[in-house]
Amino acid sequence: GVPLQDVWDTIGPLSSMAKERLGYPTQKPLALLERIIQLSSQPGDIILDPFCGCGTAVHAAQKLERSWIGIDITSVAISLITYRLNAAFPNIEFATIGEPKDMQGARQLASDDKHQFEWWALSLLKAKPSGEGSSPGKGKKGADGGKDGIIFFPDGGGKLSKIIVSVKGGKNISVEMVRSLGDVVEEQKAAMGILLTLEAPTKPMLAWADQKGLFHSDAWGDFPRIQIITVADILDGKKIAMPPTVVADTFATPHREQRPPAAEQASLL
């Protein structure tokens, strides 16, 4: 046969309808990274991807029985990779290094970089960042129009509904923030709104949220239309009252690899 040339035109780009597309803007085909890794390494070697995005390289490395290290600057990317790997390799074990694990770490991140704190907080809910300039991988975030993140969920009959997420990492929080979120939910015709705060909400904030009543879904039932939850609540394992499939539908579900690989040593930074 013809030796492999330096122009590869047998692997096409990912279309918007590709089964492996996860919704990440710079995603590469898995077949491309598999070819690169197979040509340049042997099983058991360590693959380093210092800008791993949605994790295609580490997915390919895991599938081909290589050890790997993946690094990315944004928490939303790390969250997506974690979700992707657990879905594709159900018994995989890996360490995630550098993300806040407690309230001390969360407050430190909020003090150091409010944008990274926002992306990390959104990743706790598996919410996609929204707003101009908020694509994963960019260091700055533009105006968000009152919504920091968005979660989509199927609401029966082929209908796709959304939840607006607003993140507040400052110490001074007020009922006006809840009112503002309520206005955005109305303007966006969203099903629900979630206010995720670093500090505990005040009683007037909770009372105003209660006044907004319930969102009714024929498919899933009733849920509070406006909810306030703290980072501490999420870290303690508290769940938001929302449709059960909402997390899986925010990013597309990766396919499960048929044969679990032998190599299980990996890390994600």
Neighbours of 207 (CB within 10 A): 12
Q: Strand 226-230 relative to strand 192-197: parallel, antiparallel, unpaired?
A: parallel
Q: What is the distance between the alpha carbons of residues 152 and 7, in angstroms, rounded to a whole number?
A: 39
Output the average pLDDT for the chain.
Answer: 85
Which of 76-90, 126-140, 147-161, 221-235 shows the lowest mean pLDDT across its residues?
A: 126-140
Q: Strand 266-268 relative to strand 67-70: parallel, antiparallel, unpaired?
A: parallel
Query: Which of 36, 19, 37 is CA-nearest to residue 27?
Result: 19
Output the pLDDT for position 269. Answer: 66
- The pLDDT-based confidence of 139 (bands split at 50, 70, 90) is very low
The mean pLDDT value for 168-175 works out to 92
Query: Which of 261, 268, 266, 269 is CA-nearest to residue 68?
Result: 266
Output the pLDDT for position 147. Answer: 84
The answer to whether 146 touches 256, Cβ cutoff 8 Å, is no
Output the pLDDT for position 250. Answer: 55
Output the pLDDT for position 251. Answer: 62
The answer to whether 53 touches 252, Cβ cutoff 8 Å, is no
Neighbours of 69 (CB within 10 A): 19
